[in-house]
Structure 1
Amino acid sequence: MAASLCIIFSRSISEGVNLTTAKERGQLVFLEGLKTSVNVLLGDGQKSEQKNPLQFLSDTSSDLKVLYDFVRDSLTQPSTSAWKCPVLLVDDVSVLLSLGVNAIRLLDFLHYCRATICSQLEGNMVVLTNSSDDSEDEENELLVNYLSHHSNLILQVEGLATGFCKEVHGQLRITWKGSCRLKGEKDVVKDYQYRIHDKTVTFFARGTSAAVL
Structure 2
Amino acid sequence: MFPEINNFLDINPSSLPNGKCIVVKQCGTDGSFLLHHLLSLYGHGNCNACLVGVAQTFNHYKSVSDKVGASLNKWKESGKFAFIDALKEIGQITIESTSDTSIGDVVDTLDVSYLKRLYFVIKSAIQQLSKQGDASTVLVMIDDLTMLLHVGIPVLSVIHFVQYLRQLVCPTHNSSGCLTVLVHQDLAVDDDDLNILVRQLCHSSDMILHVSGLESGFCRDVHGKLTVTWRESAEKEHPSGWNKQQEKTMEMQFKIMDKNVCLFAPGTSAAVL
Measured against the shorter chain, the TM-score band is: 0.7 to 0.9
Give distance in 1, aligned partners of 2:227 and 2:130: 39
Give distance in 2, aligned partners of 1:123 and 1:141: 27
Output the amino acid matched with 1:93. Answer: L
Give secondary structure in 2 for the equivalent of 1:161.
Answer: coil
Aligned match of 1:147 in 201, 211, 214?
201
Give secondary structure in 2 for the equivalent of 1:149.
Answer: helix
Write 1 or 2 for the structure with the bigger share of helix: 2
- The offset of 1:193, in angstroms, is 0.5
> Contact (CA 8 Å) 1:57, 1:99: kept in 2 or not?
no
Residue of structure 1 equivalent to 2:110: 60
What is the percent sequence identity of the aligned residues?
32
> Contact (CA 8 Å) 1:40, 1:57: kept in 2 or not?
no
Structure 2 segments unaligned to the other structure (5+ residues): 1-38, 49-67, 100-105, 237-243
> Contact (CA 8 Å) 2:80, 2:129: kept in 1 or not?
no
Equivalent residues in 2 for 1:27-176, closer than 5 Å: 27-41=80-94, 59-63=109-113, 64-77=115-128, 80=131, 82-83=133-134, 84-119=136-171, 122-176=176-230
C-alpha distance after superposition, 1:44-92 (max 9, x if no partner) = x89xxxxxxxxx8894253411111111122224862623421110000
Q: 1:16 to 1:177 in 2, by over 3 A?
A: farther
Q: How does the TM-score come out when normalised to structure 2?
A: 0.62
C-alpha distance after superposition, 1:73-132 (max 9, x if no partner) = 222248626234211100000100000111111111111111111116541100000114
Give distance in 1, aligned partners of 2:245 and 2:122: 34
Give distance in 2, aligned partners of 1:173 and 1:79: 33
Output the amino acid matched with 2:262. Answer: T
C-alpha distance after superposition, 1:18-44 (max 9, x if no partner) = 22211111111101234444445567x
Give secondary structure in 2 for the equivalent of 1:177.
Answer: strand
Residue of structure 2 equivalent to 1:207: 267
Give distance in 1, aligned partners of 2:92 and 2:196: 30
- The offset of 1:182, in angstroms, is 5.8
Residue of structure 2 equivalent to 1:12: 46
Output the amino acid matched with 1:60. Answer: L
Q: 1:168 to 1:100 in 2, by over 3 A?
A: same
> Contact (CA 8 Å) 2:224, 2:253: kept in 1 or not?
yes
Give distance in 1, aligned partners of 2:253 and 2:95: 43
Q: 1:208 to 1:111 in 2, by over 3 A?
A: same
> Contact (CA 8 Å) 2:86, 2:118: kept in 1 or not?
no
Give distance in 1, aligned partners of 2:154 and 2:229: 28
Query: Which is worse superposed, 31-40 or 136-145?
Result: 31-40
C-alpha distance after superposition, 1:147-169 (max 9, x if no partner) = 10111110000111111111101
Residue of structure 1 equivalent to 2:258: 198
Query: Which is worse superposed, 92-101 or 65-74?
Result: 65-74
C-alpha distance after superposition, 1:138-190 (max 9, x if no partner) = 111111111101111100001111111111011110011142x6656741111
Q: How does the TM-score come out when normalised to structure 1?
A: 0.78
Structure 1 segments unaligned to the other structure (5+ residues): 1-7, 47-55
Q: What do you get for the CA RMSD once the two structures are aligned?
A: 3.1
Output the amino acid matched with 1:89. Answer: M
